[in-house]
A and B are shown apart, each in its own frame.
Chain A
Amino acid sequence: MKDTKSAQTLNLSDAILKASNCINSLYPLTNFIACNALKGYEDISFASAMRRSNELFGAKGFLALSDYRTMYESGRIAPSDLEEAFHRNQSGGNQGQEYEIRQLSVAEMFDRISGSQVVTAINKQMMKWCGAYLDRTQAQWKPDAPQSFYSFWKELARHDLSMWWHGVKNWSQSVDSLPERSQETLAMLLHELEIQGEHIVPYLRRHIIQLPGFASHLKWRETENGEIGILTDYLAIRLHYEKMLTKVSAARQFKCADLGLVRPLLESEINQQKSENQEEQEDYGSVWQDAFELNYRNRLLSALRVESVPATDNACCQMVFCIDVRSEPIRRRLEELGPYSTYGFAGFFGMPMRLTELGSVLPFDLCPVLLKPEKDVIETSNTADAARWTSWQALKVSALQLKKKLKCNLAGAFGLVELLGLCSVLPLLAKTFLPAKINRIWQRTELKIAGQASSKLDLSSFSLDEKVALAEGAVKGIGLTHFGKVIVLCGHKSSSANNPFASSLDCGACGGNGGGFSARLAAEILNEENVRECLLSKGIQIPGDTVFIAAEHDTTTDQFLLFDTESLGDEHALIVEKLRQDLICAGKELRKVRVQTLPESCLTLLNDPLERACDWAQIAPEWGLAGNAAFIAAPRSMSKDTDLEGRVFLHSYEYSCDSDGKVLELIMTAPLVVAQWINMQYYLSTVDNANFGSGSKVLHNVIGDFGVMQGALSDLRVGLPLQSIMTADMLRHEPMRLLAVIRAPLSAIDDVLSKHPEVRQLVSNQWIRLVALDPTKAAFYEAEDCGKWRQVNPAPYVEKKNEVTDGSANVCFAKE
C-alpha cells in the first residue's frame, strides 16, 4: 500500500517536470539571465516549436507578414533569398509532431460555457499568494515565514474571506482538511477530478500556462535555487482553488457538486463548440523568416575575409574583451587608433567564483549560469578606510530600513511624511534636471564621508594547481600565443538609474553582474609568479615583463576603468597611459555614433550618454544586446576591417593551436549556447512581446526585488521590455536566429556535434544556423545536421547607400 503511494507521488513529480517543460526558468531581476523561453521545445524543429507555442500560449512565432512584405519591398529580402528559403523548407518538410492530448481545465470549460470568470478568480488568488510568499524585501509586515509555500498558504489561507464573496461557504474547513503535504493534496485533487494516466501531464500543463510568469519563476526556484517541491505546492494550491470555485459554478449550473460527474458533461459541450471553429491557417512566416536570415547570412559572409592571414600578433599592448556584441564597435575603433590587438573571450575569463563584496553579506555568482562556482572569493581591505566604508554602507541601509518600517507603523507614518516630505523637493528637482551633476556631487560627498577603500581579492580558497589550471585555460581559450608588454583583461558593466532591468544590461557571462571583479581575479592569477613558473612546464611561456591589467568597460558611457595601475614600472606606465588616452578617444567617438540611435529628449543636454547613465527618468540608457545576430569564432583578422555594426559575438579561435579540439568543444558548448539564449530571448521578445516580453517599462510595478508586474496586479512579466528592442515606431532589434560562423575544419565541428546532442539538436532543428569556414578550402559550408554540410556561396554584397551604421534596424515597422 505504502509502495504504491510513493510510486504515485514519484510519478507525480515526474509529471510536473514534464508538464513544466513548456516554460523555462525565469531568473530574478537582481541577476537577469537571458533565456530561451521555449527551451523545452529545442528537441523539435524551430517551426514546429513556434506552432506548439501558438497552440499553448496563442503566441506568434514570426513577424507579421506585412513586416516581411515591407522588407521585401525595401530590398532587405531579395527574391533569391526567398527562393532559397522556399527550396529548403520544401526539402526539409514537416517533422513528425509529437502528439499530445489537448485538454482544458475544468475552470476553463466553465468559463467557456457560461461566461463566468473562474480562471481570472483563481489567477488573482495565485498572484496574491505567490507575491506574498516570494517577496523578501518589500512588505514590512509578514507572518514568520514557514518552510514551504504550501504550509505558508495553508496556515494563512484559512483566514481568507475572499472566497466567501465568490460563494464558497466552507472555505476554512476545506483548507483545514487538506493533507499536510502538497504532493498528497495534488494527488487527491487529481483523483477527485478523475484525471488519470496520460491525462495528468496535459492537465497540469494547462494550469501551469495560466500564469506562465509566476510558474517560470517558481521553476527557477525549484531547479536553480534549491526550493524543491515549490511547483508541486503551487499546483496543489491552484487545483484546490479550482475545485472550490468550480463546485460553486457546478452547483449553480448543474445542481450537482460532484466534479467527477460534471466534467464529462462539460467536455461534450466544449467538443461541440470546438468542432465549429477548427480551421488551421497555414502561414508562411517560417519561410519569410528564413529568407530574411539568409539575406543577412550572405551579407555577413561576403564581408568576412576568407583567405587565411598568417597570425602576426606583435603588438605590445593586447586587450581581451568579452564576447558581448557591444565589444565589437569599441574594439574596431581602438584598433584604428593604434597598434592594438584585441581578443574576444567570455567575460568571466573562464574563472568562475562566488564573490562577497567588501562589507556585504550576500555572495553572488560571477560566471555563466551553466556553471556553479566552487570557489568563494572575498573582497578585502586592510586599510582603516574599509571600516569607514562599511559603516557608511550600513548606515545608508539602516536609514532606508528605518524609513520603510516607520512608514508602515501607524504611530510614525504620518509624522514621518510631515518631517521628510518637504526635503524631497531637492532630489526631485536635482535628479530631473541635473542628473549627472548631482550624481557627481553625491559621489564626491560620499567619498568625503566614507573614504575610498582600496581593496583586493582574497584568493586563499584557490590552491596553486587550481590557479595554474585556470590560467592555462584562460590563455589557451583566448588563444594568446604572443605576449605583449601589457595585456588588458576587460570586463564590462552598464550604468543606469531607476532601472529594474539594469542587470539585463550587465555581463551575461558574469551571471548578470558587472565584469570588473572577474577581470581583476584573472589578472591577479595571471600576474602571480608561482603560477607563471608552473605554466612553463605546460609549455606556456609568459615573459617576465608582461603585465596583466584588469579593466572594466562601461557600456552606457563607453568609459573605461583600469584597476591597480599605480605600481607599474615606467615602461608599462607609458603604454598604459597611451592606452588610456586612446580608450577615451575611442569611447568619445563611439558615444557620438550611439547616441543618434537612442530615443531623444527635447532637453538636448540630457541626451548625452554620460547623463543617461545616472538619469532616473531615462527609459533607454543604452541598447544592450539589441541587434545581435551572429556569433563568430575565428581569428580577429577574419573580421578586422569590416564594420559588423555591433551585431556580432566575437570569440577568438585559432584552429591550428587547438589540435585536440578541446577549445572548440568549450566554445560550442558554453559561449555559443549562451549566445543562443540571448539571441532567442531577443527574438521572442521582439516577435511577440505580449507573451515573451515584458511590455512597456512605463507600466512596470516591481514586486519584491525579483520581478515586475504590469499595473496593479498581473502575472510576472518575462523577457525584455519594449524599450530594449524598439523605439516608438521602429524596431531596433531585427529578430533573427543566431548565425554561428566557426573557422575550423568540418570534421572537428562534427566531432563536437556528435559528442553533444544538446548542441546538435540546436543545429538540426534550426534553432541556430551553423556555418563553418573550412580553412583549408577557404569556403563556407552550412550545416544541416551533424555530418551534413552544404557549401554556400554568398553573392558579393553591394553596399546600399541608405544603410545606417552601427546596427540600427534599417526597416521601419508599424508598431501593433
Chain B
Amino acid sequence: MNTEFFIANELAALLAPLIALAVTLLAGEKRKATLLLFGHLVALIFALSGAALAMSQSLISPVLLEQGFLTLRLDLITSCLLAGITLIAAVVLAFSERYLGGERHRYKFLCCLSFLSSCAACLVVTDNLIVAFVCWHLLSLGLWRTMQLQDHCRGSAAVVLRHHLLSDLALFLAMMLVFQSTDTLAFSQLPKVVSSLNSNFDLFGLSLLPVSQGTVASLLLILSFTIKSALFPFHRWLLATLDAPTPLSGLLHAGVVNISAIMAWRMMPVLQDNVLALAAWGCISGLSAVVGTLGMSAQPDVKRKLVYSTVGQMGFMSLQCASGAIGAALFHLLAHGVFKCHMFLQSGSAVAEGLNKRKYGYSIDQQSGKRLSSKTFVVTTALGVCAAAYILCLNSSWTGLSAIITGSAIFCAVPALSRIDFKSLSLFWSAALAIALLSGFASSKFESLIHFVPAISVPILPLCLSLFGIVAIGLRLVQRSGLAKALYVHSLNGFYTDEIAFAAQSRFSTKKNSL
C-alpha cells in the first residue's frame, strides 16, 4: 500500500510538468507562465513527499514498474534525485519568470527550461537504454534551442551543439555495442548479462583490435560522459553557454552537466570491469579538478569563475564515479547542483559583495594583521587531506573533513578576524561544525546505499585527494616564484583551449582556401 502511494507520488512528480508543458501549447501567452509554474510546484510537492516516503521506508532495492519501453525504476536514490531536479526546476522557473520580465522571448524560454528539466527527470527514472538515450539527446537539442532564442547566441549555440552531438554519438555507439552483445535494453538486466561483453571487438566480422567489446563500449561511454560533464578540455561548451541568460546557467550547472553521473550509475556494470577505461576517466577527471580549480581562482569575473568551478567540481564527481563511489558522486551531484544554482542566480550581487568586502574586511592586497604562515598552511592542509583520505579508505565519504581543517587555518588569517568577538566566533564555528556533521552523515548514508567495487585495485579517490593536497601545498610554497606566475597566466588563459581551437580552425580554413 505504502509502496503504491510512493509510486503514485513519483509518477505525479514526473507527469505534472509534462502535462503543464503540453497544456501551454494551447494556452495564451499570459497563461503560459502561470501554468508552467503551477505544474512545477505541484511536481515539487509530490517529489518531496515521494522522497520522504522512500526515506521513511528505506526503499533501497528499486521498485520496477514494468511497461515495456516505459519501464521505470524507483528507489530512495532516484526519488532524492527527482526531488532535487524538480526543486531546482521550480526555483529557476519562478526566478526566470520575473528575471526575464523585460525580454520578448520570456515564455518560450520558460517552456524550454521546463522541457530541459523534464528530460533530466525522465532520464533519472527510466530503466530503458533507448529512452535514456533519447532523453540524453533531447537535453542537447533543448539546450541548443534555448540558446537559439537569442539572436546573438547563434554562434555559441552551434559550439554547444557540436560538443553535445559528439557526446550523443559516442553514447549511441556504446549503447549499440552493449545491445549487440547482451541483447538487453534494460539497465536492471545489465549486471546479469554483462559477461557477454567480454568477447572480442569486431566490426562486420573483422576483428581489428585485440580488445573486448566491453572495453570499446566503456571508452565510448567515458568520452560521452567527459564531454557532457564539461571536463577539461571539453569545457568550451560550458563557457559558450554564458552568452545565454543567467537562469539557464543556473539550471544547466545544477541539472544538465551532472547528468553523466546518473548515466554512469546505470552503466556501471559495463564500466566496472574495465581497468583501462576507469583509469583514463580517473586521469581526465583528476586533471579537470585541478585545472578547474586553478582556472577559477584566477578569473576576475563572476560567471567564468563559476564555470571553472563547475569544471573542477565535475572533475571531482567523475573521479568519485571512476572509483566506484557512485553514491558519493550522486550526493556530490545534489549538493553541488543546489549550491551552484544558488551561486549563479545571485551572481548579480557581486558588486554589493565586493563593496562589503572592502568596507568591513580588507582588500586582498592590503592584508594586514596576521598573515597565514606557509608552515601553518602546509601542516593543516596536510593534516586535513590525510584525515579525509584515511576516512575515504575506510569506504566512507566524508570529504568535508579536509575543508573543515584547511578552512579553520585559512580563517585564522582572515584580516577582519581581529574585530570579531569571541562569542560570535565560537557560535559561528559551532554552527559550521553542526552543518559539517549533518552533511557528513548524509553523504556517508548515500555512500552506503550504492557502492560498486571497480576492477581497479588502486584507491583512486584517496590518492587523488592527497595529490590535490600536494598541489595546494606546492603552490603555496612557490607562490612568489616565476613558476607560480607562469601557472597563474596559464590559468588566466583557461589553459589555452580557446586558442588551440582557434588555431585549429584557422589552419583548417586556410587549408580549405588553398584547396
Q: Which of B243, B294, B480 has the most CB of A within 10 A?
A: B243
Residues of A within 8 A of B245 (CB): 696, 698-699
Flag if A414 contacts B316 (CB, 8 Å): yes
Interchain CB contact (< 8 A) of A699 among B91, B243, B421: B243
0 or 1 for each of B347-383: is its CB under 8 Å from A? (1 = yes): 1111111111111111111000000000000000100
Residues of B within 8 A of A140 (CB): 297, 364
Given A411-B472, A696-B102, A421:B334 Cβ within 8 A: yes
- B425 CB within 8 Å of chain A: yes
Given A422-B439, A601-B97, A712-B240, A413:B312 Cβ within 8 A: yes
Q: Which of A372-429 contact B (CB under 8 A)?
A: 387-388, 390-402, 405-425, 427-429
Tell me the complex Cα distance, A601–B106, Å.
11
- A137 CB within 8 Å of chain B: yes
Given A360-B359, A399-B428, A711-B242, A415:B399 Cβ within 8 A: yes
Given A138-B305, A428-B341, A619-B100, A407:B246 Cβ within 8 A: no
Flag if B106 contacts A401 (CB, 8 Å): no
0 or 1 for each of A137-181: is its CB under 8 Å from B? (1 = yes): 111111111000000000111011110011000000000000000
Residues of A within 8 A of B442 (CB): 422
Interchain CB contact (< 8 A) of A136 among B301, B364, B425: B364
Given A396-B360, A418-B443, A428-B342, A410:B353 Cβ within 8 A: no
Tell me the complex Cα distance, A697–B96, Å.
12
Residues of B within 8 A of A360 (CB): 359-360
- B302 CB within 8 Å of chain A: yes
Flag if A406 contacts B338 (CB, 8 Å): no
Residues of A within 8 A of B161 (CB): none
- B417 CB within 8 Å of chain A: yes
Chain A residue at minimum C-beta to C-beta distance from B501: A165
- A290 CB within 8 Å of chain B: no
Given A29-B351, A388-B421, A712-B240, A398:B414 Cβ within 8 A: yes
- B436 CB within 8 Å of chain A: yes
Q: Which of B298-345 contact A (CB under 8 A)?
A: 298-305, 307, 309, 312-313, 316, 331-332, 334-339, 341-342, 345
Name the prevailing secondary structure of the B interface residues: helix
0 or 1 for each of B474-515: is its CB under 8 Å from A? (1 = yes): 010000101011101111110010011011000000000000
Chain A contact residue count (CB 8 A cutoff): 114
- A709 CB within 8 Å of chain B: yes
Residues of A within 8 A of B490 (CB): 159, 161
Q: Which of A19-62 contact B (CB under 8 A)?
A: 29-30
- B192 CB within 8 Å of chain A: no
**What's the least CB distance linking A359 to chain B, in Å?**
6
Interchain CB contact (< 8 A) of A711 among B243, B300, B337: B243
Chain B residue at minimum C-beta to C-beta distance from A604: B34
Flag if A433 contacts B435 (CB, 8 Å): no
Residues of B within 8 A of A30 (CB): 351, 354-355
Residues of A within 8 A of B484 (CB): 143
Given A388-B421, A411-B469, A162:B496 Cβ within 8 A: yes
0 or 1 for each of A474-500: is its CB under 8 Å from B? (1 = yes): 000000000000000000000001111
0 or 1 for each of A97-136: is its CB under 8 Å from B? (1 = yes): 0000000000000000000000000000000100110111
Given A415-B401, A619-B100, A392:B493 Cβ within 8 A: no
Flag if B348 contacts A500 (CB, 8 Å): yes
Flag if B97 contacts A602 (CB, 8 Å): yes
Flag if A410 contacts B290 (CB, 8 Å): yes
A266-274, A640-648, A721-729, A781-789 - the one binding chain B: A721-729
- A713 CB within 8 Å of chain B: yes
Residues of B within 8 A of A392 (CB): 424
Flag if B342 contacts A138 (CB, 8 Å): no
Residues of A within 8 A of B489 (CB): 156-157, 159-161
Residues of B within 8 A of A432 (CB): 91, 94-95
Residues of A within 8 A of B312 (CB): 413-414
Q: Which of A697-719 contact B (CB under 8 A)?
A: 697-705, 709-713
Interchain CB contact (< 8 A) of A395 among B104, B424, B493: B424
- A745 CB within 8 Å of chain B: no
Interchain CB contact (< 8 A) of B488 among A141, A408, A417, A704: A141
Flag if B33 contacts A602 (CB, 8 Å): yes
Q: Which of A430-487 contact B (CB under 8 A)?
A: 431-433, 449
Flag if A143 contacts B485 (CB, 8 Å): yes
Residues of A within 8 A of B456 (CB): none
Given A432-B91, A433-B94, A502-B352, A712:B243 Cβ within 8 A: yes
**What's the least CB distance linking B374 to chain A, in Å?**
14
**What's the least CB distance linking A219 to chain B, in Å?**
19
Flag if A136 contacts B316 (CB, 8 Å): no
A85-93, A610-618, A753-761 - the one binding chain B: A610-618
Tell me the complex Cα distance, A388–B294, Å.
37
Tell me the complex Cα distance, A784–B111, Å.
55
Chain A residue at minimum C-beta to C-beta distance from B380: A411
Tell me the complex Cα distance, A416–B421, Å.
25
**What's the least CB distance linking A709 to chain B, in Å?**
6
Flag if A411 contacts B411 (CB, 8 Å): no
**What's the least CB distance linking B264 to chain A, in Å?**
17
**What's the least CB distance linking B53 to chain A, in Å?**
19
- A291 CB within 8 Å of chain B: no
Residues of B within 8 A of A422 (CB): 334-335, 338, 439, 442
- Having A410-B471, A418-B400, A726-B102, one finds 9 other A-B pairs with CB under 8 Å, namely A134-B300, A136-B365, A143-B484, A409-B410, A410-B289, A502-B351, A698-B99, A729-B104, A815-B104
Q: Taking beta carbons and an 8 Å cutoff, which residues of B are in contact with A?
A: 30, 33-34, 37, 87-88, 91, 94-104, 106, 156, 239-240, 242-247, 289-290, 293-294, 296-305, 307, 309, 312-313, 316, 331-332, 334-339, 341-342, 345-365, 381, 384-385, 388, 397, 399-404, 406-407, 410-411, 414, 416-417, 419-421, 424-425, 428, 435-436, 439-440, 442-443, 468-469, 471-473, 475, 480, 482, 484-486, 488-493, 496, 499-500, 502-503
Closest 5 CB pairs of A and B: A421-B335, A705-B354, A415-B403, A135-B300, A408-B297
Chosen A-B contacts, 13 in total, with CB atoms closer than 8 Å, are A137-B353, A388-B421, A398-B414, A414-B332, A415-B399, A424-B339, A429-B87, A498-B349, A617-B99, A696-B103, A698-B247, A726-B102, A727-B102
Q: Taking beta carbons and an 8 Å cutoff, which residues of A are in contact with B?
A: 29-30, 128, 131-132, 134-145, 155-157, 159-162, 165-166, 357, 359-362, 387-388, 390-402, 405-425, 427-429, 431-433, 449, 497-500, 502-503, 599-603, 606, 615-620, 696-705, 709-713, 722-723, 726-729, 815
